[in-house]
Amino acid sequence: MDLLMTEEEVRFRDEVRAFLDTHLDESLKRAERLNPSFLADPNIGLQWQAKLNEQGWVAPSWPKQYGGTGWTLAERYIFDQECERAGEPHFRGASIKMIAPVLMRYGTDEQKAFYLPRILNGEDVWAQGYSEPGSGSDLASLKTKAMLNDDHYVVNGSKIWSTLAHHATRMFALVRTADTGKKQEGITFILIDLKSPGVTIRPIRSICGTHEFNQVFFDDVKVPVSDRIGEEGEGWDIAKYLLEFERGGAFAGGVLRAMLTRLHRLACEPLPDGRKMIDDPLFAARFIEIATDVDANDMLELAAMSKVQAGGNPGSVPSSTMKIERSRIRQSIAELAASILGPDALRWEEHRPLHELPEESEIDEGRKVASAVYFNSRSQSIFGGSNEIQLEIIAKTLLR
């Protein structure tokens, strides 16, 4: 692999850097520095998305015909790394990297024409409706029902762990439309307007004090048949396709590298006794080990993204492998930061979001957010399918 940039790629990198220097203001960067989650506060993320949309750079992973950039894989990688270096808010979640690929592959022309532009300009923000109470890793046991009534479905049930649903305008959801045959065969994929009568959203506050997750209740909620993706009973196959993009459909190495940079900055600060953790040989060895893992993850991502670049999907084994590695690396960084903070790593901050608190030095703010990041990182190996489930997917696929 040739890791040297061509002259064209250097020019592209400089163009990206100039744009970021001009448009990514300090308030957005501070909000991201103080964000313990894997996604930005939507109020922050949408501000940055609007600036990128004006430039045509919102969705580099999309085909150009739908509003993508048409960049090469190398340019996409450079863009990701430069955005992370600059400290951009992470806003590409359920809307851009999950429901959009499903619409492109399974949606009707009318659905694509209506929803994709609204995703790009931020008019629609999507939440995911998969897990239910009692149906997490065993997703096929879901019980939320959708009964067909003329030209619409009537939906009853609830979804849980719906990330940022309290900010979302719409939800893509798996519902049960039949109880006969294998449980996977009765599942259908639908799109729900969260402003519809009968939708109730209740917050779930996480252990680090943030409000990211929600439980969403549906009581006789009407969903037009025109908002069904695919045919009845095809939801399971569509859901598995989407999960490949959730687990491995975009670059994440830049996020990990940004976390590692913050950890290095923290390790270079003097402790109360005057020592610096970066000078400790055991700490430094562990830091280098994690940094090497981040580099290896970059290579894994590039291999998977080359498939997406060619119009395919990441594949179940690469996406599951990336899901495991990303969560492991993120937790390792958080644990090493906690070793610096000591008891402060378990500190509870009552006020959220952190970027609304009075400004402090970047180091003091880094210490404050590190405790929340530590708690938040524990969920990384659970959501999106636990690491144990990912290992099972890999084993079944490779040993079949």
pLDDT digits (tens, 9 = 90+) for 282-302: 999 999 999 999 988 888 777
Residue 69 has pLDDT above 80, yes or no: yes
Model-level pTM? 0.84
Distance CA(300)–CA(262), nearest Å, equals: 23
Which 3 state secondary structure label does DSSP give 191?
strand
Among the ranges 127-136, 251-260, 338-347, which has the highest mean pLDDT value?
127-136
User: What are 37-46's pLDDT values in tens digits?
Assistant: 778 888 899 9
Average pLDDT over residues 376-399: 85
The vertex-81 CA angle with 79 and 86, nearest 5°, equals 95
- Token pair, residue 339, equals 């070793």
Average per-residue pLDDT for the chain: 88
Active site residues: 246
- Nearest to 160, CA basis, from 174, 178, 176, 148: 174
User: What are 173-197's pLDDT values in tens digits?
Assistant: 999 999 988 888 999 999 999 999 9
pLDDT grade for 155, boundaries at 50, 70 and 90: very high
Average pLDDT over residues 163-172: 95
Per-residue exposure over 256-270, b if at least 16 CB sit within 10 Å of its own CB, e if not: bbbbbebbeebbeee
Residue 250 has pLDDT above 80, yes or no: no
Average pLDDT over residues 322-328: 88
Give every CB contact of residue 276 below 8 A, 6+ residues apart in sequence: 267, 268, 269, 270
- Nearest to 187, CA basis, from 142, 242, 125, 233: 233
pLDDT grade for 101, boundaries at 50, 70 and 90: very high
- Nearest to 370, CA basis, from 352, 388, 346, 398: 346
Residue 365 has pLDDT above 80, yes or no: no
- C-alpha distance from residue 222 to each of 62, 159, 201, 218 (Å): 31, 16, 16, 9
pLDDT grade for 253, boundaries at 50, 70 and 90: low
Average pLDDT over residues 59-87: 91
Distant-in-sequence contacts of 96-100, Cβ < 8 A, 24+ apart = 96/58, 96/59, 96/61, 96/62, 97/61, 97/245, 97/246, 97/249, 97/250, 98/126, 98/128, 98/172, 98/242, 98/245, 98/246, 98/249, 99/126, 99/172, 99/242, 100/59, 100/62, 100/66
Residue 249 has pLDDT above 60, yes or no: no
Domains contained in the chain, CATH given: 7-92 (no CATH), 126-242 (2.40.110.10), 246-398 (1.20.140.10)
Higher-confidence residue of 350 and 56: namely 56
Name 152's bridge partners: 149, 224
pLDDT, residue 354, reads 65
User: What are 339-351's pLDDT values in tens digits?
Assistant: 888 877 776 655 5
Residue 358 has pLDDT above 80, yes or no: no
SS (H, E, C) 70-84: CCCHHHHHHHHHHHH
Q: What is the DSSP string of 319-338?
A: HHHHHHHHHHHHHHHHHHHH
Which 3 state secondary structure label does DSSP give 94?
helix
Neighbours of 107 (CB within 10 A): 20
pLDDT, residue 192, reads 98
For the chain, give the number of residues.
400
pLDDT, residue 299, reads 82
